[in-house]
């Protein structure tokens, strides 16, 4: 494996020494580009009280290319599919090398707080969310209780 | 002698009578026969044949004379008849006669009265030329066995070699017996050359034990001898080898006792009956019992050379003679049939050579210092000679040599070094006396070796009175030893008979050496010198040793031809008889220089000359209306007329065009005058004799000729030929001779032979000193301050890199194709263009597509490549640096203002973070701002842009997502006071080399202000770019930039150099110098720093350039920085340079070799 860019080392150090509230990210012992991430469900959202496991991988072209992030915990969210894939513009076309792991994870946290059913990834969830927002939120809350209990 | 004269008298009458009827000749024949009645074959039975023969002779003479007179119209009958007498009427008789005529015309003419010099020749077997032995035998043959010889000579083609050799044997036997019957010719002295032990075999039983020390006689027997032939006919197989049977007879009893071992017999057999060599055979061990057939006994064979072999060598005869002689046997040995005489001659010659080898007599190459004698293995000499004689036998050996050399390339280098070593002949040089030119004429003080050089040069011109003499040294010979001759030392006399025979009477005992021409079997006690009438030579001191000054001292010491007095000077139009149309400018030295040196020579002359009457004139363009009048009719013609190769070429071309008209008017310009002296500076310019320049220069006439060059050999040994030709160094200036003795052996990989010849050609006319040489006190000739060459490896910038990769791919493809299809060299020019592109990219992308004068020859294939590829597009990329999408003036100013508002650029500790690599702070030398004023590392932002481009994504500021453009970026440019200016990025996007150069220059200016710096590049376009970049980067009050390249005219050149050389303590002076225009000759010692922007193929070219500043006059340490782009073609070029240094480019043996090497080089570039 190519040697780790200075930037990744620096970011990792900062994640440890100056962690973002509600978010943890730890590099894997064997692969410093692979992070185990937890995100607390934002307060006031259906995911409150939940602790979601994610994985984050920094590709070789990082930071030119966006990191790959995926939910490991099952979550009921219009922008996150059953496989945990996230629909977030900064992870796709709007990626900028000025973004960092920290900012990416903050964005994911923000996505939990404000789902965007108009740009869905899980179509059934999004439909449900549009037709019956309350019901959908209830389901999300249930799922959080079921799968993401702290 | 009287008899001889009467014989001549008869013969003369015979020839006068030759128009009369043939019967009249009969009485003539008789005296010959009577003279020869001692001859076995002079019996009456043959006199009838003689009649027939004599009539035939007269006919033959008539036709002989006719043919001869066709060749030599003013040949007198008398001489004609003499020649006929000498050469008979064979196939080669005419040519031999012509040769002989030219060689001996003087003696022939003198002898055309009553002095029978030719008869002398036949009477005295010493002869006085190389063919003495053959004449000798031929005359004897004529006398002893006339019908046979005539037959042979008239119909040689009908005879096979076999019968010839048999006849030869017979004749030899006859002659031998004849000689023994006659009172044997007593040589005046003999001298020991060595002895050989031999184990001989008893052929007849002895009655009692052989006596120790008893003298034996050798007798060479022949197969034709009736008795022995009977014996050996029975054993047919052995007959051939028995041809060399040498029997041993007891001196006392005259009884045969044994025979010599066969190998030795073969060697001495042809020599026993030859004149010039005497053998003494002594029994040294025979056992203490009687011997029976087949027993061995040991003998000592003492060999002597006798006075006979040392014919009077006519040392006054000049070069041409000897080489004509040489050429005489040369063609005949190639043509199918050798005449008997030549054959016997050859046997004898080869016998001698082998004998010399056996006796371990070695030639001496350096007489003056036996200690350091470069002894040469005589074995190799044998090879050389056999090569001339027996082609087939040597082929295998030649191949051996060839492969050996292939395996061991460094041998080539050794050879080249050897060449220079011998050419330097160090010892002799050290002891040259010094000539100090009087201060009345020469203002400058010469260095020691320059004074010695002056001595040498004056001697070369024959101005011995002016040259200093060292005490104890005899007048040095301006003559050289004939290169075909070798010098040998007499060995100590170890012969058996030494004790009792004292040869103190021997006149030769005092002499230490004798000389032999093993090519012809000719020997001499005197040094066979070539007195060349040629005045001049090659001054080949290494660069920077002051060839110019040495030459000027020569010119000032001997400014005009003193052989003509004042009166003649003005009347010499009439005086010069040879070519009245060409007036003689007896007071003018013509100096031919490359254009860049024109002014330098003039100013050097002014500096050196201390005599107001002498002045120099530059002949450039039409500044002198009538050169002829100017030089020959004025009272004070210029001592020195300086012109360029270009002018000469120009005038020559015009002259050629005008053809006969111009010739009628006595030539044109420079060609209409015979100069007192011609000096070619940087003489290697004429090395290719097929160029117009070279041809034109050859046509200049002058009585003294000099070539100055630090590098006489640039590509191949033949480069020397042009110099030799210019010098009119006879006979080598005839291409035939050169080819035969230098080119051909060289091509056959007989390097040693070729170099030996070149050495001996060059030695007397060639002076070379190197900076490393020490004078007689062991001091180095020149004490130059040290020079340090640093190679600085740099990386390409991103634009260069991407372009480089594209081009490299392209080039590799074409090379691979070329290699695969085997037509690599056909594609050579295309590949060259590709390579050129790569080299250009290493310097600057802007070079691509720029017409560069370096590559005129490439321009055609240039377009080919460009059309066929994306180079066009790439060039566009390179050009759109300043297209309209960039900042407009206004926008730019606005951006700069807002940037300055946002960041305090005056703060040197300004700390900005690059959001891409999170580096903080960004190196301000490497910072880029987007239009939205966000800072990034240059590399990070570039990487980002490239990545986005690759994926066809828009370029947006990573921080604010505003659109950005590569062309709308800002960067900082550091001022010398440490503050930064905002500049547009991309426009000033400096390539690595320029950036580094600027850095170096600034550091230099900081540490020692006011230095002069030379910057070399081979691309003049690059010099332009450098000029702009440097002007942008360095404030104009700190620097002055000069540019010197081929585009400057003469006046501009001198202005530039003059101004550059004036030191200004406040300003750094930078001279951008084109490697080609200014790489040679210039003297830039005022500078001690140099930068080489790009490597050149040949290291010597770069050395030359460095020597512009590292030369006499330089007082400070010299610092040279060479910029090389890492992992690029430039680094590979360095490797090729290295390789060339070791191989020595001059050693490229032949065209094939060179071709192979070129392919190797191309492969090396793309491996």
- pLDDT at residue B946 is higher than 50: yes
Place of tokens 């021409």: B517
> Which residues does chain A have within 8 Å of residue B957's beta carbon, measured at their own beta carbons?
96
The 10 Å Cβ neighbour count of residue A105 is 24
Whether B920 and chain A come into contact, CB under 8 Å, resolves to no
> What tens digit of pLDDT does each residue of A48-102 get?
888 999 999 999 888 888 999 999 999 998 888 889 899 888 998 888 888 999 9
> What tens digit of pLDDT does each residue of B249-302 get?
777 777 778 878 877 777 777 777 666 677 777 877 777 777 777 778 888 888
A14, A60, A66, A96, best to mutate vs chain B, most B CBs in 10 Å:
A96
Angle between helices B1050-1061 and B598-608 (to 10 degrees): 60
Strands (DSSP E) contained in B658-796 are: 674-680, 701-708, 766-767, 787-794
Nearest of B710, B699, B703, B677 to residue B594 by alpha carbon: B710
Residue scoring higher pLDDT (B64 or B243)? B64
Rounded to a whole number of angstroms, the distance from the CA of B916 to the nearest CA of chain A is 5
Q: Which of A5, A64, A98 sits opposite B915 (nearest CB)?
A: A98
Rounded to a whole number of angstroms, the distance from the CA of B889 to the nearest CA of chain A is 30
Average pLDDT of every residue of chain B: 66
> What tens digit of pLDDT does each residue of A122-140 get?
778 888 888 888 888 899 8
pLDDT of residue B686: 86
Name the 3-class secondary structure at A110.
helix
How do strand B256-259 and strand B246-250 relate by DSSP bridges? antiparallel
Nearest CA in chain A to B918: A7
When pLDDT is averaged across residues B590-615 and rounded to a whole number, the result is 84
Place of tokens 């490896």: B793
Q: Do B916 and A63 touch (CB under 8 A)?
A: yes
Rounded to a whole number of angstroms, the distance from the CA of B969 to the nearest CA of chain A is 17
> Which residues does chain A have within 8 Å of residue B919's beta carbon, measured at their own beta carbons?
6
B915, B917, B918, B959, best to mutate vs chain A, most A CBs in 10 Å:
B918
pLDDT of residue B563: 66
Rounded to a whole number of angstroms, the distance from the CA of B926 to the nearest CA of chain A is 18
Scan residues 925-944 of B and list those with Cβ closer than 8 Å to A.
940, 943-944
**Residue B529 confidence class, pLDDT cut points 50, 70, 90:** low
When pLDDT is averaged across residues B3-14 and rounded to a whole number, the result is 44
> Which residues does chain B have within 8 Å of residue A65's beta carbon, measured at their own beta carbons?
947
Least confident among B157-171, B1056-1070, B1144-1158:
B157-171
When pLDDT is averaged across residues B744-766 and rounded to a whole number, the result is 74
- pLDDT at residue B435 is higher than 70: yes
Q: Do A7 and B916 touch (CB under 8 A)?
A: yes
Whether A89 and chain B come into contact, CB under 8 Å, resolves to no
pLDDT of residue A107: 92
> Which residues does chain A have within 8 Å of residue B933's beta carbon, measured at their own beta carbons?
none
What sign for the dihedral angle of Cα B1145, B1148, B1152, B1156? negative
Residue scoring higher pLDDT (B777 or A1)? B777
Q: What are the angstrom distances between the C-alpha of B1027 and each of B982, B1039, B1095?
A: 21, 11, 19
pLDDT of residue B180: 40
> What tens digit of pLDDT does each residue of B393-430 get?
333 333 333 333 333 333 344 555 555 555 445 555 66
Rounded to a whole number of angstroms, the distance from the CA of A124 to the nearest CA of chain B is 32
> Which residues does chain A have within 8 Å of residue B958's beta carbon, measured at their own beta carbons?
96-99
> Which residues does chain A have within 8 Å of residue B944's beta carbon, measured at their own beta carbons?
64, 97
Nearest CA in chain B to A11: B918
Sequence-ordered alpha helix ranges (H) in B36-104: 47-71, 77-87, 93-103
When pLDDT is averaged across residues B379-389 and rounded to a whole number, the result is 34
Judging by beta carbons within 10 Å of its beta carbon (0-12, 13-18, 19+), is residue B660 exposed, middle or buried? exposed
β-bridge mates for residue B279, sequence order = B303
Q: Do A64 and B919 touch (CB under 8 A)?
A: no
* CB contacts < 8 A (A, B): 34
Nearest of A90, A39, A97, A34 to residue A65 by alpha carbon: A97
> What tens digit of pLDDT does each residue of B122-174 get?
344 443 444 433 343 333 444 434 444 334 343 344 444 444 444 444 444 44
Share of chain A above pLDDT 90, in %: 25
B915, B920, B941, best to mutate vs chain A, most A CBs in 10 Å:
B915
Q: Do B918 and A61 touch (CB under 8 A)?
A: no
Q: Which of A6, A97, A99 sits opposite B944 (nearest CB)?
A: A97
β-bridge mates for residue B1017, sequence order = B1074
Nearest 5°: phi and psi at B462? 80, 15
Q: What angle do CA B743, B745, B750 make, to 5 degrees?
A: 130
> Which residues does chain A have within 8 Å of residue B959's beta carbon, measured at their own beta carbons?
96, 98
pLDDT of residue B107: 53
> Which residues does chain B have within 8 Å of residue A97's beta carbon, measured at their own beta carbons?
915-916, 940, 944, 958
Whether A63 and chain B come into contact, CB under 8 Å, resolves to yes
When pLDDT is averaged across residues B452-466 and rounded to a whole number, the result is 78
The conformation of residue B462, written as its DSSP 8-state character, comes to T
How do strand B246-250 and strand A51-57 relate by DSSP bridges? unpaired
When pLDDT is averaged across residues B561-581 and rounded to a whole number, the result is 50
Rounded to a whole number of angstroms, the distance from the CA of B913 to the nearest CA of chain A is 11
The 10 Å Cβ neighbour count of residue B538 is 25
User: Which of A23, A69, A80, A87 is flagged as catalytic?
Assistant: A87
> What tens digit of pLDDT does each residue of B1022-1052 get?
888 888 878 777 777 778 888 888 788 778 8
Q: Do A65 and B956 touch (CB under 8 A)?
A: no
Rounded to a whole number of angstroms, the distance from the CA of A123 to the nearest CA of chain B is 28
Share of chain B above pLDDT 70, in %: 53
pLDDT of residue A106: 92
Q: Which of A7, A61, A64 sits opposite B918 (nearest CB)?
A: A7
Whether A97 and chain B come into contact, CB under 8 Å, resolves to yes
A97, A101, A103, best to mutate vs chain B, most B CBs in 10 Å:
A97
> Which residues does chain B have within 8 Å of residue A96's beta carbon, measured at their own beta carbons?
956-959, 961
What sign for the dihedral angle of Cα B602, B605, B610, B611? negative
Whether A65 and chain B come into contact, CB under 8 Å, resolves to yes
Residue scoring higher pLDDT (B907 or B961)? B961
Nearest 5°: phi and psi at B718? -65, -15
Rounded to a whole number of angstroms, the distance from the CA of B979 to the nearest CA of chain A is 28
A65 part of the active site = no
B958, B959, B960, B964, best to mutate vs chain A, most A CBs in 10 Å:
B958
Residue scoring higher pLDDT (A96 or B900)? A96
> Which residues does chain B have within 8 Å of residue A90's beta carbon, measured at their own beta carbons?
none
Nearest of B706, B751, B674, B196 to residue B454 by alpha carbon: B706
Q: Do A98 and B958 touch (CB under 8 A)?
A: yes
Q: Which of A10, A61, A96 sits opposite B918 (nearest CB)?
A: A10
- pLDDT at residue B50 is higher than 60: no
């Amino acid at each position: 494996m190519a040697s780790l860019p200075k930037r990744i080392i620096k970011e990792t150090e900062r994640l440890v020494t100056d962690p973002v509230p509600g978010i943890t990210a730890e590099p894997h012992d064997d692969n410093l580009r692979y992070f185990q991430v937890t995100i607390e469900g934002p307060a006031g959202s259906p995911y409150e009280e939940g602790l979601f496991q994610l994985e984050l991988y920094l590709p070789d072209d990082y930071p030119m290319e966006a990191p790959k992030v995926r939910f490991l915990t099952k979550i009921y969210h219009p922008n996150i599919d059953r496989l945990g894939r996230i629909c977030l513009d900064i992870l796709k076309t709007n990626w900028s090398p000025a973004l960092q792991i920290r900012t990416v994870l903050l964005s994911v946290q923000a996505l939990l707080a404000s789902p965007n059913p108009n740009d869905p990834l899980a179509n059934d969830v999004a439909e449900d969310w549009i037709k019956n927002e309350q019901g959908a939120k209830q389901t999300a809350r249930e799922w959080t209780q079921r799968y993401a209990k702290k | 002698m009287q008899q001889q004269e009467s014989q001549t008298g008869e013969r003369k009458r015979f020839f006068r009578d030759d128009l009369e009827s043939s019967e009249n000749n009969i009485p003539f024949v008789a005296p010959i026969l009577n003279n020869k009645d001692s001859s076995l074959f002079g019996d009456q039975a043959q006199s009838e044949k003689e009649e027939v023969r004599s009539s035939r002779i007269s006919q033959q003479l008539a036709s002989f004379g006719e043919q001869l007179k066709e060749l030599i119209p003013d040949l007198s009958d008398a001489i004609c008849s003499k020649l006929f007498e000498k050469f008979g009427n064979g196939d080669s008789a005419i040519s031999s006669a012509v040769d002989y005529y030219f060689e001996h015309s003087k003696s022939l003419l003198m002898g055309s009265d009553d002095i029978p010099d030719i008869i002398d020749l036949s009477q005295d077997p010493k002869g006085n030329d190389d063919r003495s032995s053959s004449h000798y035998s031929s005359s004897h043959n004529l006398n002893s066995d006339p019908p046979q010889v005539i037959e042979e000579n008239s119909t040689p083609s009908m005879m096979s070699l076999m019968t010839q050799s048999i006849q030869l044997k017979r004749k030899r036997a006859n002659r031998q017996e004849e000689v023994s019957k006659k009172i044997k010719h007593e040589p005046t002295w003999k001298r020991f050359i060595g002895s050989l032990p031999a184990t001989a075999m008893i052929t007849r039983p002895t009655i009692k034990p052989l006596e120790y020390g008893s003298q034996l006689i050798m007798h060479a027997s022949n197969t034709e001898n009736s008795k022995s032939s009977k014996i050996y006919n029975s054993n047919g197989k052995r007959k051939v080898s028995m041809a060399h049977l040498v029997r041993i007879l007891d001196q006392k009893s005259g009884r045969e006792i044994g025979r010599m071992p066969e190998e030795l017999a073969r060697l001495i057999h042809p020599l026993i009956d030859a004149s010039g060599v005497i053998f003494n055979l002594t029994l040294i061990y025979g056992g203490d019992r009687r011997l029976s057939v087949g027993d061995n006994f040991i003998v000592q064979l003492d060999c002597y050379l006798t006075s006979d072999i040392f014919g009077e060598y006519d040392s006054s005869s000049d070069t041409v003679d000897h080489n004509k002689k040489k050429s005489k046997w040369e063609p005949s040995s190639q043509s199918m049939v050798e005449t008997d005489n030549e054959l016997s001659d050859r046997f004898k010659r080869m016998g001698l050579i082998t004998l010399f080898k056996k006796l371990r007599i070695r030639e001496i190459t350096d007489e003056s210092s036996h200690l350091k004698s470069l002894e040469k293995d005589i074995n190799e000499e044998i090879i050389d000679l056999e090569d001339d004689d027996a082609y087939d036998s040597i082929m295998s050996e030649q191949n051996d040599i060839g492969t050996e050399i292939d395996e061991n390339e460094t041998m080539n280098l050794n050879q080249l070094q050897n060449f220079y070593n011998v050419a330097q002949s160090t010892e002799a040089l050290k002891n040259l006396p010094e000539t100090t030119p009087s201060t009345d004429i020469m203002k400058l003080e010469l260095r020691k070796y320059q004074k010695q050089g002056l001595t040498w040069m004056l001697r070369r011109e024959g101005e011995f009175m002016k040259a200093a003499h060292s005490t104890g040294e005899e007048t040095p010979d301006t003559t050289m030893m004939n290169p075909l001759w070798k010098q040998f030392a007499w060995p100590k006399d170890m012969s058996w008979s030494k004790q009792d025979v004292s040869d103190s009477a021997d006149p030769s005992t005092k002499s230490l050496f004798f000389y032999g021409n093993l090519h012809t079997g000719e020997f001499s006690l005197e040094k066979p010198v070539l007195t060349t009438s040629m005045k001049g030579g090659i001054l080949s001191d290494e660069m920077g040793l002051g060839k110019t000054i040495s030459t000027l001292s020569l010119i000032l010491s001997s400014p005009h031809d003193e052989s003509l007095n004042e009166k003649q000077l003005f009347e010499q139009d009439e005086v010069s008889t040879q070519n009245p149309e060409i007036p003689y400018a007896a007071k003018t030295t013509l100096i031919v220089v490359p254009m860049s040196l024109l002014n330098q020579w003039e100013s050097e002359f002014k500096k050196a000359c201390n005599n107001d009457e002498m002045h120099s004139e530059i002949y450039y363009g039409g500044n002198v209306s009538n050169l002829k009048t100017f030089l020959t009719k004025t009272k004070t013609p210029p001592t020195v007329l300086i012109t360029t190769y270009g002018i000469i070429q120009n005038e020559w071309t015009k002259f050629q065009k005008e053809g006969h008209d111009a010739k009628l008017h006595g030539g044109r310009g420079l060609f209409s005058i015979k100069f007192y002296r011609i000096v070619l500076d940087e003489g290697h310019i004429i090395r290719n004799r097929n160029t117009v320049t070279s041809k034109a220069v050859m046509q200049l006439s002058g009585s003294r000729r000099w070539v100055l060059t630090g590098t006489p050999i640039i590509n191949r040994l033949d480069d020397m030929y042009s110099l030799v030709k210019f010098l009119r160094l006879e006979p080598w200036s005839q291409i035939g001779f050169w080819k035969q003795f230098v080119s051909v052996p060289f091509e056959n990989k007989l390097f040693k032979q070729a170099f030996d010849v070149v050495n001996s050609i060059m030695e007397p006319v060639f002076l070379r000193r190197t900076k490393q040489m020490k004078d007689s006190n062991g001091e180095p000739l020149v004490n130059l301050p040290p020079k340090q060459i640093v190679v600085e490896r740099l990386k390409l910038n991103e634009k260069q890199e991407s372009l480089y990769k594209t081009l490299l791919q392209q080039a590799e493809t074409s090379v691979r194709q070329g290699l695969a299809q085997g037509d690599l060299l056909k594609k050579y020019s295309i590949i060259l263009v590709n390579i050129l592109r790569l080299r250009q990219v290493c310097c600057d992308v802007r070079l691509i597509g720029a017409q560069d004068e370096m590559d005129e020859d490439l321009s055609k294939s240039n377009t080919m490549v460009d059309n066929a590829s994306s180079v066009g597009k790439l060039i566009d990329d390179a050009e759109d640096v300043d297209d309209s999408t960039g900042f407009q003036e206004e926008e730019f100013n606005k951006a700069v203002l807002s940037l300055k508002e946002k960041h305090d650029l005056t703060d040197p500790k300004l700390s900005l973070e690059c959001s891409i690599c999170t580096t903080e702070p960004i190196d301000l030398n490497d910072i880029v701002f987007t239009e939205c004023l966000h800072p990034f590392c240059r590399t990070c932002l570039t990487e980002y842009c490239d990545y986005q481009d690759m994926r066809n994504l828009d370029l947006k500021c990573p921080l604010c997502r505003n659109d950005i453009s590569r062309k709308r970026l800002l960067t900082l440019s550091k001022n010398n006071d440490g503050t930064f200016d905002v500049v547009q990025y991309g426009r000033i996007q400096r390539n690595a080399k320029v950036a580094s150069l600027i850095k170096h220059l600034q550091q230099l200016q900081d540490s020692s202000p006011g230095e002069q710096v030379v910057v070399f590049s081979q691309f003049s376009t690059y010099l332009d770019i450098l000029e702009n970049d440097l002007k942008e980067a360095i404030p104009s009050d700190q620097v002055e930039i000069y540019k010197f390249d081929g585009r400057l005219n003469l006046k501009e050149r001198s202005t530039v150099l003059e101004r550059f050389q004036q030191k200004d303590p406040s300003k750094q002076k930078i001279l951008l110098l084109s490697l080609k225009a200014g790489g040679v000759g210039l003297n830039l010692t005022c500078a001690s720093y140099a930068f080489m922007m790009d490597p050149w193929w040949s290291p010597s070219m770069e050395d030359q350039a460095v020597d512009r500043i590292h030369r006499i006059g330089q007082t400070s340490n010299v610092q040279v920085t060479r910029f090389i782009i890492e992992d690029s073609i430039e680094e590979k070029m360095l490797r090729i340079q290295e390789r060339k240094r070791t191989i020595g480019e001059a050693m490229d043996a032949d065209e094939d070799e060179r071709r192979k090497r070129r392919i190797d080089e191309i492969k090396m570039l793309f491996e």
